[in-house]
A and B are shown apart, each in its own frame.
Chain A
């Protein structure tokens, strides 16, 4: 069937619509998910079709409604919990880390938690230091959780059914800067393999590894690099936990150079994990140290020029890639 062009937001909404329409056990819980339509308008209109019981507004009680989602999952439901931003998810960190991630193991394999949590991540909207951070690396640290980050409308459309079919807690990080991005969605492709990274652009000189909002920037950077004769392969991690190391190693084994781009902070961040994993796997085929480009170590500021300066931009990626490729003077 022909692909359909839609926005990332529409793709996610269509996925939610399908989930509600095809499985009575699916409910959506979150702040303002019903009448308001969700802060980013992802759930807009769903309550009119499926009712306020299934598209259920919650009070401002992140820990309470994430915990209720866990309980409902234990009780046989398939809850999708929306947390407005990753910063607010910290109010539910206890439930996610101490409960959702531990119950299966702590109960000797008896109680799995088939919970899907959707939250937004990322900067770029001048929302300052309590709405703009990229903390997905923290969640990727935790055994028992699965963490994914769609960067395309196609993944926004098809990661959700896979996450719902997973017997484990899955956290989906949606980049707030991507909601209006348009792209092709294959309406028939069906649920995707959540645990595989995707090569978004082929190249020979280096591998740029990115996720979520950094993927479109990396692709733009690769275009710019091509104009100056540097052929960059771009890999979209898609799954932050587990990491698809084989796909990374195959690419870097061929290009011999890698740049990891991360919207999270550098220290102890996801980029550190990815860079270390590549170094361990590809050390003998590397022609240069693995490069890292991350958000500067500062709370995300409000002023546009400061926010822009804090977060990796296309030009930064180009410059860092040229350094890794040994072409920084070219």
Chain B
């Protein structure tokens, strides 16, 4: 990599972290104004992880995230307007106003939520990896984000065991912010070396500094290169800290303010900015421009969300089940008694994908960011 290319990546990483920070600080204000309701979980302080990981991904990859996923969605290319509209409960939101902050989805970008059952999406990641493996999408990776709290859930253990047994191309990204809601790591995990715990499933696992975006980027690049080549799962623990409370309902009684202040000294945006300035990769005016651009993006998203229409109550019951279309019924009836060829199936799939497929392998090429 030339210095120039490398510096472009670094500038991008800083820009990404700033976009998340600005977007979420505005979300907190909007929550105070009652524009956003429900639960709102902010990622402030943890931005280096999503920024470092998401920049390594390709369109063919799949992403699953937790309920603290605004930043992941934003960096996956989900437009800020549609994320903000979703939080406003508007029909133009990326989940049509049915999901809210915790359930951002975007099919064209292979962004599979936005999951609010802690650990519940880890088995889904195994299944997505299995589909990639069995449908011949060699090199595609499913990236699954979760907090360290999920590692106490049974589904973590079931999913890692399955992933290793089936050798599926999944990167498990543990965002260890040290508190499962208000319960500290030491209170929730008998083994606080989380990489060691994951490694017990015969999965390559290691721990990196999640406050250092270059470390995150480097570790993810290394993991993805290996997974794309060999197919098997990997696990990375990113050690991080959330600067805000768990959610807007959380009075944050369980953390020593001094501890919070200590971690804030390691703010990934501040430290990385200082580094890029010191190395003359950026001038202060460049940094200011990144913040201005992020503010402009966020304000445009807020304006757009304010103006956006709400979903009419008349369509409330849409999408509970998808209608069995004439085409998919016909497909069932026409199903040949003799074995069809793979080619036949692929052809059927591309014709009928939107109607009968969870997420076809052939409809994703047109809307990539």
B126 touches A104 (CB 8 A): no
Whether A94 touches B127, Cβ cut-off 8 Å, given contacts A76-B357, A108-B105, is no
B132 touches A94 (CB 8 A): no
Q: Tell me how many residues of B have a C-beta within 8 Å of chain A.
A: 69
**Within 8 Å of chain B (Cβ to Cβ): is A77?**
yes
Bound complex: CA of A67 vs CA of B324, how far in Å? 23
A77 touches B134 (CB 8 A): yes
A68 touches B342 (CB 8 A): no
- B contact residues around A104 at 8 Å (CB): 319-322
Stretch at the interface among A55-63, A215-223, A224-232, A320-328: A55-63
Stretch at the interface among A109-117, A128-136, A205-213, A281-289: A109-117
B99 touches A106 (CB 8 A): yes
**Within 8 Å of chain A (Cβ to Cβ): is B103?**
yes
- A contact residues around B166 at 8 Å (CB): 56
- A contact residues around B131 at 8 Å (CB): 71-72, 74-77
A71 touches B130 (CB 8 A): yes
Stretch at the interface among A149-157, A159-167, A255-263, A311-319: A159-167
Q: Tell me how many residues of A have a C-beta within 8 Å of chain B.
A: 56
A61 touches B345 (CB 8 A): no
B154 touches A71 (CB 8 A): no
A106 touches B113 (CB 8 A): yes
A114 touches B320 (CB 8 A): no
**Within 8 Å of chain A (Cβ to Cβ): is B278?**
no
Stretch at the interface among A15-23, A272-280, A299-307: A15-23
**Within 8 Å of chain B (Cβ to Cβ): is A308?**
no
**Within 8 Å of chain B (Cβ to Cβ): is A70?**
yes
Closest Cβ–Cβ distance, residue B236 to chain A (whole Å): 20
B335 touches A61 (CB 8 A): no
**Within 8 Å of chain A (Cβ to Cβ): is B128?**
yes
Whether A105 touches B319, Cβ cut-off 8 Å, given contacts A94-B117, A111-B107, A111-B358, is yes
- A contact residues around B105 at 8 Å (CB): 106-108, 110-111
**Within 8 Å of chain A (Cβ to Cβ): is B286?**
no
Bound complex: CA of A50 vs CA of B187, how far in Å? 47
- B contact residues around A21 at 8 Å (CB): 338-339
**Within 8 Å of chain A (Cβ to Cβ): is B45?**
no
- B contact residues around A67 at 8 Å (CB): 120-124, 126-127, 155, 158-159
Question: Which of B94, B123, B338, B345 has the most chain A CB within a 10 Å cutoff?
Answer: B123
For chain B residues 96-124, which have a beta carbon within 8 Å of chain A?
Answer: 96-99, 103, 105-107, 112-115, 117, 120-124
**Within 8 Å of chain A (Cβ to Cβ): is B282?**
no
Closest Cβ–Cβ distance, residue A22 to chain B (whole Å): 5
Whether A106 touches B98, Cβ cut-off 8 Å, given contacts A25-B135, A76-B360, is yes
Closest partner residue, chain A, to B131 (CB atom): A75
Bound complex: CA of A65 vs CA of B126, how far in Å? 9
Which residues of A line the B interface, CB within 8 A? Answer: 18, 21-25, 27, 53, 56, 58-59, 61, 63-77, 79, 94-95, 98-99, 103-114, 143-144, 146, 161-162, 164-168, 190-191
23 interchain pairs (CB within 8 A)?
A: A22-B336, A25-B135, A25-B349, A27-B134, A61-B161, A64-B126, A68-B162, A70-B124, A71-B124, A72-B131, A74-B127, A74-B359, A75-B361, A76-B358, A76-B359, A105-B319, A107-B113, A108-B95, A109-B322, A113-B358, A161-B335, A165-B324, A165-B329
